[in-house]
């Protein structure tokens, strides 16, 4: 994709975009919380708009505020490790 992506084994956690982050497969509640707290916009690539949401990161304070959501997604991905 040309951007910094984060995985746990083969599970996609999220990726960085210019001045933002996209966290994959968040619950509806967590996605709503991120949207209310940070705003943002739908992720666009090659003229296509997806259902993923870009959470803007304007500074270190924003990064610290988003980390619990990233950590939660990581823990969800790691808890399913080894299950088929």
User: What does the domain layout of the chain look like in residue ranges?
Assistant: 5-79
Q: At 72, is the pLDDT very low, low, confident or very high (cuts 50, 70, 90)?
A: very high
The residues that bridge with 45 in the sheet, in sequence order, are 48
pLDDT at residue 82, rounded to an integer:
56
Tell me the mean pLDDT in the region 19-36: 91
| Contact indicator for 3, 76 with CB cutoff of 8 Å | no
pLDDT at residue 81, rounded to an integer:
57
> Which of 8, 6, 10, 14 shows the shortest CA–CA distance to 34?
14
Helix axes 60-79, 28-38, angle to 10 degrees: 170
Tell me the mean pLDDT in the region 21-44: 91
Q: How far apart are CA 19 and CA 58, in angstroms?
A: 6
């Amino acid at each position: 994709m040309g951007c910094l992506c984060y995985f746990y084994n083969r599970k996609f956690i999220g990726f960085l975009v210019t001045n933002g982050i996209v966290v994959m497969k968040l619950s509806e509640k967590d996605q709503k919380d991120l949207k209310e707290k940070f705003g943002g916009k739908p992720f666009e690539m090659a003229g296509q708009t997806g259902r993923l949401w870009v959470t803007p990161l304007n500074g270190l304070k924003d990064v610290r505020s988003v980390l619990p959501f990233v950590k939660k997604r990581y823990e969800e991905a790691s808890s399913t490790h080894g299950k088929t």
